[in-house]
Amino acid sequence: MPNLKEAAALLARANDVTLLGHVRPDADALGSALALGRALQQRGVKVRVSVGEPEEMPETLRSLDAGGLFVTASELPETEQLLVALDTPTPGRLGKLAPRVDAVRSAGGDVLVIDHHASNVFYGTHHVVDDTAEATAVLVFALLEELGTEIDEPIARCLYAGLVTDTSGFRRARPSTHLMAAKLLEAGVDPDKVVREIVDDHPFAWLPMLSDVLAGARLEPDEARGFGLAHAVVTLDAARSVRAEEVEAVIDVVRSTREAGVAVVLKEAEPTGPRQRWTVSLRSAGGVDVSAAAGELGGGGHRQAAGCTAEGTADEVLGKLREALSRAPLL
């Protein structure tokens, strides 16, 4: 694994560390940050974990922060000696916290980037970047082993959360994935509880919302290079009765469509100008590389799970996505 020893030495020398995940963090971003944060805190390091957006920790991920390490972006100190960015391929994905990278570097501090995106642009002073890793949590686990950290249950819970979600419930797994999971279970993780809290826990209001949204879903069998495209649109109006977590979960229903090799969900965002704004989730069943299509619209991600933001009407954005998907590389 690249630079593991050097990164571990950097962490072992640190006494004040800020750990950041990408905006609108998932379980891999926050779980990785909170696991490493807790391990460093146990070594006597002053640590804090944050994200550029939203201000609050997402409700479904709160059980990961056993030690209360999360602070809002506005509570962060001016700067820090060591900034660790996790699951974040570009500074832009840190949102409004992106300028901290240059600020820390120009003040002579270090920036450690720990990530598994192929699109990582190596913006730190130190990097543990491996696009063959299933999750950033895998890289943090390797770092903790290098540091000789004893993995307690809260650390294991955070890493398990990242691992189980980024592999879509161990669907994309190698023998080493399950070996890591076994060590985390040995440390005391309750897998049913973790997955239920993070993935499978929705208010009843999700069901009528889902019913509305899925009624508008469409299947276009010839799109996505003939693999088929299924798409659905979640307007701000449809999303009003539920949390962001329920909106994010819609893609997991749409992607189960047998006739579609690619699933897309358009999620309307609060407008910042005259035009409608959307965050887009793309998933591939393995036929085409959706990160390339997302990349054409200024986003990115992984070959089978990607995203982007776009402006315009839903039809305009879908039109751009169809075009980008018609050029997406085959896997």
Residues near ligand AMP (CB under 6 A) are 93, 117, 251, 281, 299-302, 305-309
Which of ligand AMP, Mn ion, none does residue 29 bind (CB under 5 to 8 Å by kind)? Mn ion
Q: Smaller CB distance to ligand AMP: residue 17 or 34? A: 34
CB nearer to ligand AMP: give 8 or 27: 27
315 three-state secondary structure: helix
**What are the structure tokens assigned to 119, written together?**
């699109």
Give start and end residues of each alpha helix (H) in the chain: 4-13, 27-42, 99-106, 136-147, 153-166, 175-186, 191-198, 206-215, 236-239, 244-254, 290-296, 314-326
Min dist. Cβ of residue 305 to ligand AMP (A): 4
Residues 6+ apart with CB under 8 A from 205: 241, 242, 246
Alpha-carbon distance of 283 to 236, in angstroms, equals: 22
Q: How far from the centroid of its chain's Cα atoms is residue 184's Cα?
A: 20
- Decide if 239 contacts 265 (C-beta within 8 A): no
One residue of 19, 29, 47, 101 binding Mn ion per CB under 5 A = 29
What are the two backbone dihedrals, phi and then psi, of residue 59, each rounded to the nearest 5 degrees? Answer: -55, -45
Encoded amino acid at 159, one letter: L
Return the range that interacts with Mn ion (CB under 5 A); candidates 2-10, 55-63, 87-95, 311-319: 87-95
* Residue in the shown chain whose Cβ atom is closest to Mn ion: 28
Residue with Cβ nearer Mn ion (43 or 172): 172
Among 26, 65, 134, 223, binds Mn ion (CB under 5 A): 26
Closest to ligand AMP by CB, 10 vs 290, is: 290
CA–CA separation, 269 and 325 (whole Å): 22
CA-closest candidate to residue 35, choices 121, 160, 205, 201:
160
Rule CB under 5 A: say whether 115 interacts with Mn ion: no
**C-beta of 87 vs 223, nearer to Mn ion:** 87
C-beta closer to ligand AMP: residue 100 or 302: 302
Site string for Mn ion, 118-137 (x = CB under 5 A): ------------------x-
CA torsion angle 25 103 36 307 (round to 10): 20
The reply to whether 248 sits near Mn ion by the rule CB under 5 A is no
Residue 300 binds which of ligand AMP, Mn ion, none (CB < 5-8 A, kind-dependent): ligand AMP
Distance CA 265, CA 19 (A): 30
Candidate ranges 24-32, 50-58, 183-191, 221-229; the one touching Mn ion (CB under 5 A): 24-32
Please report whether residue 28 would count as binding Mn ion according to CB under 5 A. yes
Question: What's the CA gap between 308 and 276, in Å, rounded?
Answer: 14
User: Which residue, 77 or 329, is less far from ligand AMP as judged by CB?
Assistant: 329
Measured from the CB of residue 87, what is the shortest distance to Mn ion in angstroms?
A: 4
Q: Smallest distance, Å, CB 156 to Mn ion?
A: 18
Residues that bind Mn ion (CB under 5 A): 26, 28-29, 87, 136, 166
